[in-house]
Each structure stands twice: as structure tokens, then as C-alpha cells.
Amino acid sequence: MKTILELITEEMRRGFSEAGYDEKFAVCTLSNRPDLCEYQCNGALTAAKQYHKNPMDIATEVVERISSSNIFSVAEAVRPGFINLKLQGAFLGDFVDAMRRDRERMGYDKVSTPKTIFVDYGGPNVAKPLHVGHLRAAVIGESVKRIIKFAGNEAIGDIHLGDWGTQLGQIICELQDRKPDLPYFDDNFTGEYPEESPFTISELEDIYPCGSKKSKENEDFHKRALEATYQLQNGHRGYTQLFKHIIEVSVTDMRKIYDRLNVHFELWKGEADTQPYIPDMIQDMKDKGLVYESDGALVMDTNEPEDKVEMPPLMILKSDGASNYNTTDLGTLVWRMNDYHADEVYYVVDKRQDLHFLQLFRAAKKAGICAPNVYLEFIGFGTMNGKDGKPFKTRNGGVMRLESLLNDIDNEMYEKIKTNEDIPEEEARDTAHKVCVAAIKYGDLSNQASKDYIFDLDRFTSFEGNTGPYILYTIVRIKSILRKYKEAGNEKSASKVGEPTNDSEKALMLVLSRFSEVMRTAYNEKAPHKICAFVYSVCDAFNHFYHANKILGIDDKNLEAQYISLLEVTERVLLCCIDLLGFEAPERM
Ligand code: ARG
């Protein structure tokens, strides 16, 4: 289905060409003076230069041609040559009704050539509890993935676990110090290793920081950890078994938290999974003469002629032959290309890693791992700061675990919701959690991803203002009206969206009609914040409409039915948008 702006522009093109001007000037935009008009066209001003004419004359001529249009109720030329446009109610009503009939997509067309697109997000390191620092990658990545999928592509979210660094050697050595008798450390052991993990998640969460601390303070321990890492990476039997336990215990725990956040990965691959691809990849780079030795390490130049500053060479293998962050990221691209034929890969990672990704993309292209037409993009996000403007910390200065953050907000929201005594306990808990997720995600996503933002929980959890709970509150209000309408014995969808009967109704329709344009922009720019801004304006327009009009129980039953149809579209548009943002609405609050 064409977007409303396409229809408006088409009509204006007709006006320009019938008046004898190039139709390329018929560029229309949403009005920046909503008090004066709904859409506007400034094309006469640009055309004036080419035709050496007074812009006002051109605008007047164009307006004459479209005076009988059934799209515009007002098309007027105003000084110095703007064309101000207002839409006919019937046209707008028909458009929104077509959205209503297209139940799943509300008129938003799928891309004509679907692609296979990877979204690499999450990226936690194993054996460490998820903390607030992991929030942005999860929240933004999940939304970007959903936006890509809704556009009609195959979207694959891959968590890309950090499971291949020296931290594993540190964990192994610390465990050995604590439980030296475990068979994994006995090189003469040839039997079957126990099925059960030798540690629980809470032990593992203690082992990791201890090992990491020791490694910094104690040179011997550090060397042992490096050696253990090397052994693990070269197939040590006991360590490989331990590694499996580390991943399993850690992933089970992570999954719980990501599930609570409504973040779901299609793939749970990690750096370790790239190992089988590394030797061939390195050999190929050597054969192509792309890598050379520098201080014992294997490096690749990634400079390009237009660079203003020279880039340091990219280390492909460490001097001990071990792979590093670059190696595993390159190896990951190998299987994403070979096994999935990915057309595009997006990385949702802290923006401080921009140099890493710039070099990675260049190396991947240079080495032919990705064909020239494969599109790679780094979506770097900014820092989540506390109210003091510094990176967010708990009251006593520590990093806050995601689990405690979720528990705290769940409880706080529960206290608010429980005040409505009609809501049973279980539903109140579930609703509280939905509000919690909306608060966190909307608070984050309503900011442009690349910017730093203030993680202000008091604001995010407020039921008023531009917040997740306000959005849910509005949806719940719509649901409740629709429910009451049905309970009164009416069929929903008994009517169609018709010509608006008053200003607030028209204003709501105007906002809704922009749905597919907003979706397209959010997709093109991979920008969830555009959806947030739209959702907010829909809620605002709806609440105005709601306060200005009695909806249920009016005498004019046709009008009531028409309002209900409009509410149905509003509800569906909002539900679709929040789904793309990654949260859900309860039935009541
Ligand atoms: N584990 C990494 C870190 O903690 C983030 C991974 C991001 N994704 C990637 N493909 N490099 O910094």
C-alpha cells in the first residue's frame, strides 16, 4: 500500500506537471506549522530558480491545477511561495480504514527483496553476572532485530558470547586452587568425567572475580592462567570438559535474565565456536599475502588511501599463536557468510569499540571473507549515566546486577498496581513486570542510540510524561473501551473508519496515517527512537481525542461504531510498535 506521503506527493506531481513544471519539484513534507496546515510543499521556491519566475506565481498556478483534487480540502499558495495543504476528511478516513483492513501490517509493505540480516548484540562475557552495562546492547539490539524482521527480512539475532579469552584460564586455575582433586586437573585421568558441573552459578560468580584479581596481583598465577587458556584452546581434554560446564551454567543463568527482559536470541554462538574456521582463514590470508609478522604477532594493515590518520596494524594472531578478539570476530564472519549467506551484519555494541569494528570491516573485505556487496554496520551506543552524569552505579558505587535491577523495579511497580484491589495477585505480578520492562526499554530506546543518556528510574517508571508506563496506560485505556463496547453486546469492527467529525478525531487519524512512513524510516536508519517518538504522538493524539469526545453510549450509534473502528486501528498500531520496541501491554493497570 502506498504511504500517505506518496499519495500526496503523486497528486502534487500532477499539479506541477499540468502547470508545465518539472514534477521533481513536487516534494512534500509534514507541515512544520501544524497550526497552519497538515502537509506542505516548498517546491515552487526551488522551481523559481530554474524557471526564472516568481515563486508565488508558480505556487498559484500549481494550486489551481489541484483545486479539484479529492485528496486536498485546502491547497493554498502563501508568500513567498509555499503551498499549504490540508487533507480531505473522506480521503484520510479511507486511508486509515485501509490500514484497519490490513490487520497484520496496517499498510506497511514488505521489502521487495528480503535479505538475510544478522544482528550481533548482547555480547556478554561468560561466567560474569549480567549487569546494567549489558542493558543497552540487549535492548537496542532486540528492537533493531524486530524492526528488520517486520520489514520482511530474515533477521538472525546472535548473542556472540565472550567465551574465548584469558578469563577462562583464570577460572580454570582458580577452580584448581579451590578443588585440586577434581579429575579435570589430573592429566592421567582417562575415565569419564562427571556429568554434573563441579560448581553452581553462585560459585562460578565468585570464582571468576577471584581468579581475575589474582591474575593481576600474582605473576605466577597470571602465567598459569595464560598456560591454561592456551591448553584449553588447543584441546586439553579436562579443560574442554570444564569449559562446557562454565558455558552451560552461565548460559542457563543468562537466559533467565534475557527472557525476563523479553530479549530472545536466535543463535547462542560464541567466540569459541569460531575455532574450527581459524586455521584455514589464517592460511588464506597468508596465501594472499595480506598478513605479516610484527614483534612475533601476525598483523594486517587496514589503512585506506583517504585516511587522515594512520591506523595501527590489526593484530590477527597473538605472538603465542593464540587468537584474540579480532580473530574470533573475523572467524565469526566466515561462518555467517558460508553457512547463512548473510547480506548484512549489524553490530550493536558500545560506541567506544568503533575503531575495532572499522578495522574488522576493512579486514573482512580485504581478506574476501565478505563479498564487496555485503553490508557491515556498527551501531555504537552511548553510555548509560546516572543522574550525576557519570556512568550509572548503585548507591554504594558498585555495578548493579541486572537481576537486582529487575527485582527492584518489579516490586516497585507491583506496589503501585496492587492499589487497584480488583486485580488478582498473579495478574498484578505479571502486569508489574510488563510495566517494568516497558519503563526500562522505553527509557532507553526513546534516546538516539549513539547518545549517552541519563538512566533516571524515577522518571522512567512514572505513569505520566514521555514514559513506557504512560504508553501502556494509554493502551490499557483503549483496551478497556473496546472491552466495554463488546460487553455491551456490540460486534467490534461493525463499522469502518469514516470521515472525521471533529478536529481531535482528524488529528488522531493524521498521526496514525504516518505509520508506514515511520516504520520505513526506522528500518532504513535502524532507529528505534523514531518509533518511540511516533508512539508518543499517537498516545498524545488519542488522549486528546478521548478527553474531547464521549465515545461509548452516545446516541448516534453509527458514530459510536466509527469511533470504535478508529480505536481498533489505534490499538493495533500501538501494539505493533511496542512489540517492535520489545515490550508488551497488560490488560489493565
Ligand atoms: N564481549 C564483547 C565485550 O564485552 C562484546 C562483543 C560484541 N560483539 C562482537 N561481535 N564483537 O566487549
pLDDT 10s digits, 237-268:
999 999 999 999 999 999 999 999 999 999 99
Distance (angstroms) between ligand 1 centre and the Cα of 135 equals 13
Distance (angstroms) between ligand 1 centre and the Cα of 296 equals 25
Distance (angstroms) between ligand 1 centre and the Cα of 136 equals 13
Cα–Cα distances (Å) from 99 to 91, 343, 496, in that order, read 13, 31, 11
Of the pLDDT bands very low, low, confident and very high (cuts 50, 70, 90), residue 160 is very high
Of the pLDDT bands very low, low, confident and very high (cuts 50, 70, 90), residue 322 is confident
Task: Determine the pLDDT at residue 391.
Answer: 87
Domains (ranges, CATH) in the chain?
Answer: 4-87 (3.30.1360.70), 116-163+268-385 (3.40.50.620), 166-257 (no CATH), 402-581 (1.10.730.10)
- Decide if pLDDT at 152 tops 80: yes
If one counts every other C-beta atom within 10 angstroms of the C-beta of residue 449, the result is 23
Tell which atom from ligand 1 comes closest to the C-alpha of 332: 10
Shortest-distance Cα residue to atom 2 of ligand 1: 123
Task: Determine the pLDDT at residue 429.
Answer: 96
Q: By the 8 A CB rule, do 303 and 310 touch?
A: yes
Tell which atom from ligand 1 comes closest to the C-alpha of 360: 11
- Decide if pLDDT at 135 tops 90: yes
In this prediction, residues 298-323 reach a mean pLDDT of 93
Q: Which residues have C-beta atoms less than 6 Å from ligand 1?
A: 120, 123, 125, 160, 162, 329, 347, 349
Task: Choose one of 160, 168, 212, 251 to mutate for the ligand 1 pocket test, by most ligand atoms within 8 angstroms of C-beta.
Answer: 160
Of the pLDDT bands very low, low, confident and very high (cuts 50, 70, 90), residue 198 is very high
As a whole number of angstroms, the distance between CA 343 and CA 400 comes to: 37
Distance (angstroms) between ligand 1 centre and the Cα of 159 equals 9
Task: Choose one of 136, 251, 353 to mutate for the ligand 1 pocket test, by most ligand atoms within 8 angstroms of C-beta.
Answer: 353
As a whole number of angstroms, the distance between CA 405 and CA 138 comes to: 15
Tell which atom from ligand 1 comes closest to the C-alpha of 329: 10
Distance (angstroms) between ligand 1 centre and the Cα of 350 equals 9
Shortest-distance Cα residue to atom 5 of ligand 1: 123
Return the half-sphere exposure (C-beta side, CA atoms, 13 A cut-off) of residue 12.
Answer: 31
Task: Determine the pLDDT at residue 233.
Answer: 87
Task: Determine the pLDDT at residue 115.
Answer: 98
Let me know how long the chain is. Answer: 589
Tell which atom from ligand 1 comes closest to the C-alpha of 350: 12
* pLDDT, tens only, 488-541: 988 777 789 999 999 999 999 999 999 999 999 999 999 999 999 999 999 999
- Decide if pLDDT at 16 tops 80: yes
Shortest-distance Cα residue to atom 7 of ligand 1: 123
Task: Determine the pLDDT at residue 299.
Answer: 98
For the chain, the average pLDDT equals: 95
Quick one: which of 502, 494, 498, 515 has its CA closest to 572? 515
In this prediction, residues 549-557 reach a mean pLDDT of 95
Q: In the 3-class helix/strand/coil scheme, how is 414-465 assigned residue by residue? A: HHHHHCCCCCCHHHHHHHHHHHHHHHHHHHHHCCCCCCCEECCHHHHCCCCC
Task: Determine the pLDDT at residue 482.
Answer: 96
